[in-house]
Every structure is written in C-alpha cells, then in structure tokens.
Amino acid sequence: MKRVTLKISGMVQGIGYRYLSQKEAQKRGFTGYVRNVQDGSVELVAEGREPDLKNFIQWCYNGVGPAEVQKIETSWSNATGEFNDFSMQG
C-alpha cells in the first residue's frame, strides 16, 4: 500500500472539487482526506494500491466537473494506515 500527496493547482476551489474528489476516492476504496489550501490549491492525501492511485491522479486532472487543473504536484510515500475513511476537511 502506498500514500500519495497531491497539490492540485488551477481553478479548483469553490466549484465542488473537494466534494467530487472525495466521492471518487471513497468509490475507489481509498482512505485519506482532501482540503482547500490558503494559496488557492487543493491538497489531497490518499492511501491505496499504487496502480489504483495512479489512475486516480489521472481522474483528478480530468474528472472533476468544471475544474481547470493546471498542475498536480505528487509526493509518494509508504501508507501509514492512519485513516479510517476518506474525509473532506475545512
């Protein structure tokens, strides 16, 4: 199991990005969270199988309604198992 931390930049706040990405992550069986960041980006931390997470990153670029994702910075690490579900914060 792996953990990926995404910093998603572009037009991603105020348009349901957190809600839709939370629902998609839950559907895929991931644990973690998604939250808005002060700089206008969205931070998403997900734990799951690496191939599934890679597919999810592609979904994050294209799957979220009217969002206009300009860039996703990714950081990989080993899963910690600290999350019980996938939540939306702030």
* Catalytically annotated residues: 18, 36
In angstroms, the CA 48 to CA 73 distance is 18
Which residues in 18-78 belong to E strands, given as ranges? 31-36, 42-48, 68-78
Q: Are 79 and 68 in contact (CB under 8 A)?
A: no
